[in-house]
């Protein structure tokens, strides 16, 4: 790990005792970021020989960081705030406005605690079982279908599973529409043009849909089981006894449904990894350690969220560099998961690197780092791992299938990334 960035060798500005943060010369790098995608920060860090540089994104000066020390800094809530950090485009599509992602301090902790209350080991296993049941129910149709596109099929199974888990009723004809909207919110995260507008429309429809359900729970016309996400967000009262505004409850409920459906991307990457490393097909069944290592390496190796954003809460200095109040800072999640000083041969898929791994909240950070309750680390990490293990078991133990010729290339300039074909399988047959 690079403990101390070396700067760019330029003299500090007059009156500034600090080193100058290496700075991109381009007046704005937004297009370069969209072109380079997941590699944008890492390539520049390599070029400057640091784990820090500054650039302009969306016309705003932005400090970019990667690596363990940077992640530890970034998750220091005394130094960074989330309010106003996420660009408006992302709020209008991916996250919505007013949700936990943009809260700080006590308001964040109180809201986050609601999520964590939903994530008991029993509840996580229940969602896993619902997902396995969905596979079992769908497999006869897959056997008949001949050709199955894993991404959309798994997304639809996850929509059904998570709605059942969250107490969200799904009428007969609703599944495809709701799945498509949840997928569009995810796909539009860093999009411009039609994909962005599709995401906005989907978010609008999604908030209306679950907002209406929240209203029904409050008037008593709908009664989801106790402890389900719909019931919990609809009935939660803050310290002053106030319910969450209906739109905010809708945003938070979508924060459970949408990312659970997004796990379909990790399931596709799991299938891709099995395809590229077939020896693991034999190693995983019946070996919980091997399965755990495989899932961790899929989360580390394959691209999902490239970065996360915060703002400097008040002026401070770190490793000789000055961070001015209000400055936007991006932490490179993908680049940290591929940092050569943290992960030997980072571009090789090697699950065994996780054998005996002691765990570190700041090195494996595909879903953010630090602490779940006090920081912004993903509330759904346990769910994600459980669902991926369930998928791995189905793919290696319950079925055999063929992978016909198709475009499996993963374009790192497309965020979020996916194999171009969505991973098509044929000749599915049940074995277990
Ligand atoms: C598909 C796999 C997933 C990935 C790659 C992922 C990734 C992330 C990332 C990168 C963050 C932001 C971390 C930060 O800003 O510091 C995050 C936050 C969050 N995730 Fe996930 N996530 C996934 C699945 C889930 C699931 C299944 C749920 C819920 C069921 C979930 C709920 C959340 C919530 C509520 C937050 C906001 C936490 C906060 O601001 O305190 N995620 N996730």
Taken in order of first residue, the domains within the chain and their CATH numbers are: 30-265+305-382 (1.10.630.10)
Cα-based torsion angle of the residue sequence 8, 11, 15, 20 in order, rounded to the nearest 10 degrees: 0
> What φ, ψ does residue 26 adopt, rounded to 5°?
-65, 140
CA 416, 71, 328 angle in degrees (round to 5)?
70
Distance CA 68, CA 281 (A): 32
CA of 101 to the centre of ligand 1 (A): 9
pLDDT in tens, 307-329: 999 999 999 999 999 999 999 99
Q: Which amino acid residue places its CA nearest to atom 18 of ligand 1?
A: 378
Kindly state the tokens that stand for 290. Answer: 């091997």
The three-class DSSP label of residue 211 is: helix
What pLDDT is stored for residue 117 in this prediction? 97
The three-class DSSP label of residue 173 is: helix
Candidate from 75, 164, 378 with most ligand 1 atoms within 8 A of CB, to mutate: 378
What pLDDT is stored for residue 259 in this prediction? 97
CA of 75 to the centre of ligand 1 (A): 15
330 forms bridges with which residues in the sheet?
64, 309
CA of 367 to the centre of ligand 1 (A): 6
Q: Record the pTM.
A: 0.94
**Series of mean pLDDT values for 10-residue runs along the chain (432 residues):** 32 55 93 95 96 95 98 98 86 84 96 97 98 97 96 98 98 94 88 80 94 98 98 94 96 97 98 98 97 98 97 97 97 98 98 97 98 96 98 97 98 95 97 79
What pLDDT is stored for residue 17 in this prediction? 58
- Name the burial class of residue 179, with classes exposed (0-12), middle (13-18) and buried (19+) by CB atoms within 10 angstroms of its CB: buried
Q: Which amino acid residue places its CA nearest to atom 9 of ligand 1?
A: 367
What pLDDT is stored for residue 432 in this prediction? 67
CA of 155 to the centre of ligand 1 (A): 17
Ligand 1 atom with the smallest distance to the CA of 376 is 41
Q: How many CB atoms lie within 10 A of CB 381?
A: 16
Contact 364, 293 (CB under 8 A): no
What pLDDT is stored for residue 152 in this prediction? 97
């Amino acid at each position: 790990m690079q403990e101390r960035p070396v700067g760019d060798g330029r003299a500090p500005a007059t009156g500034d005792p600090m080193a100058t943060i290496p700075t991109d010369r381009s007046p704005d790098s937004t297009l370069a970021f969209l072109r380079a995608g997941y590699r944008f920060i890492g390539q520049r860090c390599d070029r400057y020989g640091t784990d820090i540089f500054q650039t302009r994104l969306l016309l705003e000066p932005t400090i970019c960081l990667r690596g363990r020390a940077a992640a530890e800094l970034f998750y220091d809530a005394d130094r960074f705030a989330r309010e106003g950090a996420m660009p408006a485009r992302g709020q209008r599509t991916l996250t919505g406005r007013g949700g936990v992602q943009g809260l700080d301090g006590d308001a964040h902790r109180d809201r986050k605690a609601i999520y964590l209350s939903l994530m008991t080991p029993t509840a996580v296993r229940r969602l896993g079982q619902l997902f396995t049941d969905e596979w079992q129910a769908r497999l006869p149709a897959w056997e008949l279908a001949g050709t199955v596109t894993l991404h959309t099929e798994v997304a639809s199974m996850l929509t059904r599973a998570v709605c059942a888990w969250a107490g969200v009723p799904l009428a007969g004809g609703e599944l495809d529409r709701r799945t498509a909207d949840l997928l569009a919110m995810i796909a539009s995260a860093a999009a411009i043009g039609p994909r962005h507008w599709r995401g906005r429309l989907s978010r609008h429809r999604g908030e209306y849909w679950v907002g209406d359900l929240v209203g029904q729970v409050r008037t008593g016309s709908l009664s989801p089981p106790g402890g389900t996400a719909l019931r919990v967000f609809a009935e939660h009262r803050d310290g002053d006894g106030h319910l969450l505004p209906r739109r905010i409850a809708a945003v938070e409920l979508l924060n459970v449904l949408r990312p659970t459906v997004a796990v379909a991307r990790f399931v596709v990457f799991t299938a891709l990894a099995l395809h590229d490393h077939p020896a693991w097909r034999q190693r995983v069944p019946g070996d919980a350690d091997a399965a755990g290592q495989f899932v961790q390496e899929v989360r580390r190796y394959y691209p999902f969220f490239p970065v996360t954003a915060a703002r400097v809460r008040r002026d401070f200095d770190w490793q000789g560099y000055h961070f001015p109040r209000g400055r936007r800072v991006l932490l490179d999640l993908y680049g940290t998961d591929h940092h050569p000083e943290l992960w030997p041969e980072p571009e090789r898929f090697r699950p065994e690197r996780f054998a005996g791994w002691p765990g570190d909240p700041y090195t494996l950070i595909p879903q953010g780092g630090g602490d779940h309750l006090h920081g912004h680390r993903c509330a759904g990490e346990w769910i994600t791992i459980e669902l991926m293990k369930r998928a791995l078991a189905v793919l290696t133990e319950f079925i055999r299938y063929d992978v016909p010729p198709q475009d499996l290339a993963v374009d790192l300039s497309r965020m979020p990334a996916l194999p171009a074909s969505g991973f098509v399988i044929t000749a599915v047959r049940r074995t277990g």
